[in-house]
């Protein structure tokens, strides 16, 4: 069983993999251009953050077939925005930039946010944000400056977080990553 972290150039890809390994789950870091055939053994994919905008012509290249694999996915920061953009939503530059601690107001404590309180401290570092959800997604949480800080499509097991659960400043970050790892197990059981 393994989770693959697709590295979009953010500073935290190794930290994400480390946190997953602390959950006793094998994790490895790969390029977002990795062929789908090389990801078939993965039980889940995490799309990391990165410094680019999804609209930037210099944004990191990636293999768009990855989004159609049917595996549980978790997009973090840039990965959250990429999922939104490529699955039919809208991303735009915010009026304010968020950097530092913020309070997530959990609207639906389900999926990766299962078991969280109504208000949780998280760590933000972004300028762009999700302005319109992709079809099938719901808002799971928001901050004062980010109306879609967490989104999810439970049926497809695809989730996006504008914040960084991998850093210790997100107090319940390990719980969030553990919830994602649990999706991996349920996906494996469904295939048998």
Average pLDDT, the chain: 91
94 or 61: which leads in pLDDT: 61
Domain that holds residue 106: 2-191
pLDDT of residue 189 exceeding 50, the answer is no
pLDDT-derived band of residue 184, with 50, 70 and 90 as boundaries?
low
For residue 84, indicate whether it is catalytic: no
Task: For 127-178, write each residue's pLDDT tens digit.
Answer: 889 999 999 999 999 999 899 999 999 999 999 999 999 999 999 999 999 9
For residue 166, indicate whether it is catalytic: yes
Number of domains, the chain: 1
Domain of residue 31, CATH code: 3.40.50.880
DSSP notation for 15-72: HHHHHHHHTT-EEEEE-TT--GGGGTT-SEEEE---SS-TT-TTSPP--GGGGGS-S-
Q: Can you read off the two tokens belonging to residue 52? A: 């680019």
For residue 14, indicate whether it is catalytic: no
The catalytically annotated residue of 77, 80, 126, 129 is 77
**Quick check: pTM over 0.75?**
yes
Can you say how many angstroms the Cα of residue 88 is from the centroid of all Cα atoms in its chain? 16
């Amino acid at each position: 069983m393994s989770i693959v972290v697709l590295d979009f150039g953010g500073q935290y890809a190794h930290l994400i993999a480390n946190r997953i390994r602390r959950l006793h789950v094998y994790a490895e870091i790969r390029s977002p251009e990795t062929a789908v055939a090389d990801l078939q053994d993965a039980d889940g994919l995490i799309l990391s953050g990165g410094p680019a905008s999804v609209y930037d012509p210099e944004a990191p290249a990636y293999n768009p077939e990855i989004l159609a694999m049917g595996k549980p996915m978790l997009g973090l920061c840039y990965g959250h925005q990429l999922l939104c953009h490529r699955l039919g939503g809208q991303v735009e530059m915010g009026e304010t930039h968020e950097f530092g601690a913020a309070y997530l107001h959990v609207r639906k404590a389900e999926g990766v946010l299962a078991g969280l309180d109504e208000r949780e401290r998280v760590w933000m570092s972004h300028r762009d944000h999700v302005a319109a959800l992709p079809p099938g997604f719901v808002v799971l949480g928001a901050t004062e400056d980010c109306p879609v800080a967490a989104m999810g499509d439970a049926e497809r097991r695809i989730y996006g977080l504008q914040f960084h659960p991998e850093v210790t400043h997100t107090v319940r970050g390990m719980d969030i990553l553990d919830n994602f790892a649990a999706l991996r197990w349920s996906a494996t059981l469904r295939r048998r």
